Chains A and B, each alone.
Chain A
Amino acid sequence: MKPTFILLLLLFINVLFISLNLTRKVNSFKYLVYYVFSPFNDKIFNFINQTKELDNRVVSLIRVDKENKKLKQQINELLFFKNRYEQLLRESKYLYNTLKLYQEINFEIISARIISQDPSNWFRTIMIDKGKKDGIIQDMCVISFISDKVVLVGRVCEVNQNSSKVILITDKLSFVPAEILSSRYEGLITGSDSSYLILDYILPDISLKIGDEIITSGIGEIYPSGIYIGIVKEIEDTKKTTYFKHAIVEPYAKLNFLKEVFLLKK
């Protein structure tokens, strides 16, 4: 009898939580726990990234150990400078591209670092280290820079004081008004909870081929026009569909490997 009574009590609390979802009191509780655990999360990710670099250092050290002492010293120095040079080269190339694109965009941009991903399998979201106090508001468009392109990552779905959650374009709840770059015909990009996107609502007589680039159309208030979304990978057989054509789109943004993102200030 006792466990059943406790079960009913806990279920009642849960239902209360669900029905009070995101009210001020529930939010305050969430913010409090976030505030306590966000830095902890961040430290763990940093630690893992550091350990990854450690492997390379150990391997290079073993290799160098076989050489004589004099050469070892020189090789160590050269390797260090080479790595440093390559790292700086990569960094400067990235910053150069970012700056070039940054100037082309007529929006004020806020950069943010990714500190964690959604732990559940139900949502494709990331947590960034900028929040309300940095000027982040809900539904801000989130982008990234890949080589010479401004690519879409998602939009802000939840804002806390020091961090925010971004719903990625691959989430099933994400809808982006889009257009085919070559023909300028419009459609709707939806997430599929996998690494691919679905381009929907394309009229059957519109020409669409594999390799076509998809960009945002600018309809609605969230996503500005001209941001690259992805490239068409597969087109669904029109005989199977009733009216509209569908296509599978591979996003440009490598969402699993992003380390930082940029938010467009409205």
Chain B
Amino acid sequence: MQKFIYLFIVIVCGLILQILLKQYLSIFEFCPEILLLTVIYYGFKYGCLFGEIYGFFAGLFLDIFSVAPFGSNSLCFTIIGYIFGHLHKKLDETNIFVQIILVLIGSYIYLLLMFFIFSLLSIHKFISISNIVIVPFYNIIVSLIVFRILEEIKLTKI
């Protein structure tokens, strides 16, 4: 039960942080995707099952506060959680270089999946240079802090 409460708090804090960063520290109106970073971390750290279920709920929460089609973020995060869960124990999770590459790949997978969903639903959103360059770069910078925080408060400690 404590673990569920902890994960719920992580999702709520991630979402609030994401909103605050967009308001106060956005670069060209783009903010880091904190919830995506938590999905990548938990998928990579605890495996497919945990990653996909956490991704599902984190995405659902983001969908509630966004005007994106309900379920779209959840779908993307579920898939990302599953994909990164496959890398569990296969790579050195403490290596910063590995973390950077994972965040970069995760950001692009999210970008492509969202673009694919928007295309399917005939929502005219295009991938801009800012989407390709600024967001993944910003994600990488913020992930170094977010991963550190999540590492400090390990689930196993709770």
A7 and B67 contacting across the interface, CB-CB below 8 Å: no
Interfacial chain B residues near A170, Cβ < 8 Å: 29
- Total cross-chain contacts (CB, 8 A): 132
Is there a chain B Cβ closer than 8 Å to A22's Cβ?
yes
The smallest C-beta distance from B67 to any residue of chain A, in angstroms, reads: 5
Q: Please tell me which one of the listed residues B23, B63, B124, B135 contacts residue A117 in the complex, with CB atoms under 8 A apart.
A: B23
Is there a chain B Cβ closer than 8 Å to A44's Cβ?
yes
Is there a chain B Cβ closer than 8 Å to A121's Cβ?
yes
Interfacial chain B residues near A48, Cβ < 8 Å: 20, 24
Closest chain B residue to A32 by CB distance? B64
A119 and B18 contacting across the interface, CB-CB below 8 Å: yes
The A-contacting residues of B in range 61-90, CB under 8 angstroms, are 61-75, 78-79, 82, 85
Is there a chain A Cβ closer than 8 Å to B142's Cβ?
no
A6 and B70 contacting across the interface, CB-CB below 8 Å: no
Is there a chain A Cβ closer than 8 Å to B119's Cβ?
no
Interfacial chain A residues near B62, Cβ < 8 Å: 119-120
Is there a chain B Cβ closer than 8 Å to A11's Cβ?
yes
Q: How large is the interface on B (under 10, 10 to 19, 20 to 34, 35 or more residues)?
A: 35 or more
Chain B 40-60 near chain A by CB (<8 Å), digits 1 or 0: 000000011100110010011
A121 and B33 contacting across the interface, CB-CB below 8 Å: yes
The smallest C-beta distance from A168 to any residue of chain B, in angstroms, reads: 10
Residue positions of A touching B, CB distance < 8 A: 2-4, 6-7, 10-11, 13-18, 20-22, 26, 29-30, 33-34, 37, 41, 44-45, 48, 116-125, 157-158, 165, 167, 170, 172-173, 193-195, 256
9 smallest A-B Cβ distances: which pairs?
Answer: A17-B71, A3-B48, A14-B75, A18-B71, A3-B49, A120-B66, A14-B71, A119-B18, A10-B56
